[in-house]
Structure formats: structure tokens, C-alpha cells
Amino acid sequence: MDNEKKSKARRNYEPDFKAEILKMLISGKKVSEISETFGIAENLLYRWKTLSTMKTKTKTNESEGSSKLVAENAKLRAENERL
């Protein structure tokens, strides 16, 4: 009995290709159109978009946090000088 599922090979996409697809998504092109054109599952496109926005938010939070640290550092240095 040969009821084994044949596993599909996972496709790997280059980061540049993903970036171009994300630009299309952000510009307002429909996910279904991109999916049909490039043969990529719609759920994968949504996942890429979600991950992209999560990375952007993380980078923004990190830069806000570092600017707060710089400001606090400057404040503490000024206080040390005063003392």
C-alpha cells in the first residue's frame, strides 16, 4: 500500500524578489493578482506582508528606545558635571 504523502519541495525565494513583491502589495496591487501572476500562494503573500510590518515596527521601537537612552545618558552626564 502506497498511501504515503509525497512531500513537495519547499521553494525558497530570494530577499530581493520578496522585497519587490512587498512593494507591489504596499502599492495596492491585489494579492490574488500577484498570486496568480507569480504562482505564489495567497497565504504566503499575507505572511510576508505581516512579517514585514512586524520587522518595521520592531526597528522603529528600537530606534525610539535608543534615542531615549541617548537623551537619558546626556541628562546623567550633565548631572554628573553639576555634582
What are the residue ranges spanned by the domains of the chain? 12-55
Which residue has better confidence, 38 or 68? Answer: 38
How does pLDDT run across 69-80, given as a tens digit for each residue? 778 888 888 888
Q: Are 21 and 35 in contact (CB under 8 A)?
A: no
pLDDT of residue 67 exceeding 50, the answer is yes
pLDDT of residue 29: 92
How does pLDDT run across 7-30, given as a tens digit for each residue? 677 788 898 999 999 999 989 899
Q: Whose CA is closest to 35, among 19, 50, 24?
A: 24
CA distance 29 to 6: 34
User: Average per-residue pLDDT in the chain?
Assistant: 82
pLDDT of residue 1: 47
Q: Are 48 and 18 in contact (CB under 8 A)?
A: yes
